Chains A and B, each alone.
Chain A
Amino acid sequence: SYELTQPPSVSVSPGQTASITCSGDKLGDKYVYWYQQKPGQSPVLVIYQNTKRPSGIPERFSGSNSGNTATLTISGTQAMDESDFYCQAWDSNTVVFGGGTKLTVL
């Protein structure tokens, strides 16, 4: 079965740029989606189809996908961005989630 691998944790200082990676075999051939989940809340879509931002998502969130790695980049990270992030892709009509990355802003 297809697997997506994320680092368990990423730390960033306020105002700096955070990068969260998601790796999988030939991931660049697929669309990747990113979700933000704050404690006690449902996931929220922040990036879809590799690079697109849904309405209402701040411009500081951006995405890329090439080769075997997709990256979620948060520019000018704010304290409110501290949360769990999950990447997601489709493989053979099955949804696959990465294991999640806890972003700490300190």
Chain B
Amino acid sequence: EVQLVQSGAEVKKPGESLRISCKGSGYRFSTYWISWVRQKPGKGLEWMGRIDPSDSYSDYSPSFEGHVTISADKSFSTAYLQWSSLKASDTAMYYCARHEATIFDYWGQGTLISVTS
């Protein structure tokens, strides 16, 4: 069974750093891209960027480039999303999703990030 299991909810202060994870199982991790999608409370889906775990090539939405870093460790079948300095506006649910070419067929359960002073 294909699963993407994300790390748990986090409560952080502005300016703190954070890395959340997305662990794939039930399939060959390096053969599917992983994308990250943000959903602010009561709002829609926003694509942040993606990574090819086979070679760690990544690209980003212009809206998120420079604000987050996407990485992966194929030996652990895990992708990561990290911030060096969180802002209150980063408060949101973050989803990972796998895709072969263009189809987002499996999604993680989401990681809720709350940034508050």
Give A residues with C-beta under 8 Å from B: 1, 31, 33, 35, 37, 42-45, 48-49, 54, 86, 88, 90, 93-100
Whether the Cβ atoms of A100 and B44 lie closer than 8 Å is yes
Find A99's partner among B44, B47, B103 (CB 8 Å cutoff).
B44
Whether the Cβ atoms of A95 and B62 lie closer than 8 Å is no
Find A96's partner among B35, B47, B104, B108 (CB 8 Å cutoff).
B47
Complex: how many Å from CA A95 to CA B107? Answer: 15
CB distance from A52 to the nearest CB of B (A): 9
The listed residue with most A CB atoms (<10 A of its CB), out of B46, B97, B102, B107, is B102
Instruction: Report whether over half of chain A's contact residues are helix, strand or loop; otherwise say mixed.
Output: strand
CB distance from A36 to the nearest CB of B (A): 11
Find A43's partner among B45, B46, B61, B102 (CB 8 Å cutoff).
B45
Find B44's partner among A42, A48, A54, A98 (CB 8 Å cutoff).
A98
CB distance from A46 to the nearest CB of B (A): 11
Chain B residues with Cβ under 8 A from A45's Cβ?
103-105
Complex: how many Å from CA A100 to CA B103? Answer: 18
Chain A residues with Cβ under 8 A from B61's Cβ?
94-95
Whether the Cβ atoms of B44 and A90 lie closer than 8 Å is no
